[in-house]
Structure 1
Amino acid sequence: MRAAGTDSTYYLDEGLRLWGTSAVGSATPGMDMNYNHNFEPGPSCAVNCGGGSGNINERMVFTASPDTSIRVFDTFFFNQQKKIAIRDPIIGPLRVAFDATSGQQYLFGITTRGLVVVSLPTITNINPQAPPRR
Structure 2
Amino acid sequence: MTDSRDPRNTDWRQQLTPAQYRVAREGGTEPPFSGEYNDLKADGVFRCVCCGRPLFDSEQKFDSGTGWPSFWAPTRDDAVATETDSSLGMRRTEVHCPDCQGHLGHVFPDGPKPTGLRYCINSLSLQFEPRGDSG
Higher relative contact order (CA closer than 8 Å, sequence separation 6+): 2
TM over 0.5: no
Normalized per residue, the structure richer in helix is 2
Normalized per residue, the structure richer in strand is 1
